[in-house]
Amino acid sequence: MTIKLSKELKVGVVFVIALSVLIWGLMYLKGLEIFQPKKVVYAVYDRVNGLVAANPVTIKGMNVGQVKKMYFSKKEVGKIVVELIITQDYPIPKNSVAKIFSSGLISSKEVEIVLGDSKDVLKDGDTLQALTESSLTDEVTRQLIPLKVKAEGLISSIDTVANLVKELLNKRTRDNLVMAVQNINTVTGNLASISATMDTLVGRERTRLGNIISNVESISKNLKQNNENISNILTNFSNLSDSLAKARIPATINKVNSALEDINLVLDKISKGQGNMSLLLNDRKLYDEVAKAATDLNLLLEDIKANPSRYIKIKVF
């Protein structure tokens, strides 16, 4: 007995089969196989940083599922519930963490399950601990905020310094700076002239300088060779100093001073007319008589010299 199918039934059967194949193909491309065992777990986040449905779920870099859907929590205001489908039959510790991160600079977000150390295994319907890793933009922003603050402070300092410099560099200060530069140029020119003069002088007096240096070396050599004699001389000076110290020179000088005082006393008495010496020196009459006696004595001596026979008689036997 032959069953004849109507044309409409054939078209309906083909459409159902094609639709089933299409759905299975889409699920397969998404990594979800219809007849593959799977479990659904949850994670609650404060923010998801661009995570969308169908993003992969990985463990140590290996794809073990995907994000099914996301929605705001009805129990906790502001919290986002992410529903994760785990397609791999892998024992996941119950205290594992579902971390949202970027797998590259421009790649999409992923959920990585960081395995914990609990002996209890995650079951269907359990909730994982949630963690959101900072994006590159957030990290760059976090790093740039302190730099921004420092840059603003630096710009403010530079502005203050610029104002101070502007106030300091008035016309008078600029004129003084120009004058100082001119003075420096003059001093530099003078130093160059002095250097040239010194070079000329040294070149002209090179021979004399050589002789002076040779003489200094000769003197140094002589001093070195006569070191022993110089030591002896210094020793003699030391002995002489000791001898002078023992000579009681201060006592001798005191005695001389005492003798000079006595002489001054005698001279004072003579000047005042006291004593025989004073009478002899100050009596005019006595002086005249002594002078007359000296004159008579000279006349007598001359007469004896001229007429010795008058005073000396010689008898010859």
Q: Please give the backbone phi and psi of residue 265, each rounded to the nearest 5 degrees, phi first.
A: -65, -45
Q: pLDDT (tens digit, 0 to 9) for every residue of the chain, 317 residues total?
A: 455 667 777 777 777 788 777 776 665 555 555 555 578 999 999 988 888 888 889 998 888 888 989 999 988 888 999 999 988 888 889 999 999 888 766 667 889 999 999 899 989 889 999 888 765 556 566 677 777 788 888 888 888 887 777 776 666 777 777 788 888 888 888 888 888 888 787 777 778 877 888 888 888 888 888 888 888 888 877 777 776 666 566 677 777 778 788 777 777 766 666 666 666 666 667 677 777 888 888 887 887 777 777 666 555 44
Pinpoint the residues of the chain covered by CATH 2.40.30. 36-133
Q: Which residues of 199-223 are buried (b: 16+ CB within 10 A; e: fewer)?
A: eeeeeeeeeeeeeeeeeeeeeeeee
Is this prediction's pTM over 0.75? no
Closest CA to 103 of 37, 57, 72, 154: 57
Residue 41 to residue 230: CA distance in whole angstroms? 110
Residue by residue, DSSP assigns 232-298 as HHHHHHHHHHHHHHHTTHHHHHHHHHHHHHHHHHHHHHHHTT-SHHHHHHH-HHHHHHHHHHHHHHH
* 36-133 classified as CATH 2.40.30: yes
Is the Cα torsion angle 73, 76, 77, 82 positive or negative in sign?
Answer: negative
